[in-house]
Amino acid sequence: MPHFTRAELESFRGVEVPDLVGDGVRLVFVGINPGLRTAATQIHFGNPGNRFRPALVEAGVLAPAVGGVPGMTEADLAELVRRGVGITNLVRRATARADELSAAELVEGAARLEAFVATHRPQVVAVLGITAYRIAFALPRAVPGRQPDDLAGAALWVVPNPSGLNAHETVASLGAAYAEPARAAGIGPVGVR
Query: pLDDT (tens digit, 9 = 90+) per residue, 37-94?
Result: 899 999 999 888 889 999 999 999 999 887 766 778 999 999 999 999 999 999 999 9
At 71 the pLDDT is 79
The Cα 153–Cα 133 span in angstroms is 18
The answer to whether the pTM exceeds 0.85 is yes
At 97 the pLDDT is 86
What is the arithmetic mean of pLDDT over 7-24? 93
Q: Is the pLDDT of residue 2 over 70?
A: no
Q: Is the pLDDT of residue 164 over 70?
A: no
The CATH superfamily label for domain 6-184 reads: Uracil-DNA glycosylase-like domain (3.40.470.10)
The Cα 98–Cα 110 span in angstroms is 15
What does the CA dihedral 149, 154, 160, 165 come to, rounded to 10 degrees? -110
At 82 the pLDDT is 96
Domain boundaries, the chain: 6-184
Q: Is the pLDDT of residue 162 over 70?
A: yes
Q: Is the pLDDT of residue 182 over 70?
A: yes
Quick one: what percent of the chain has pLDDT higher than 90?
A: 77
The Cα 167–Cα 80 span in angstroms is 26
Helix (H), strand (E), coil (C) string for 78-112 = HHHHHCCEEEEECCCECCCCHHHCCHHHHHHHHHH
What rounded mean pLDDT belongs to the chain? 92
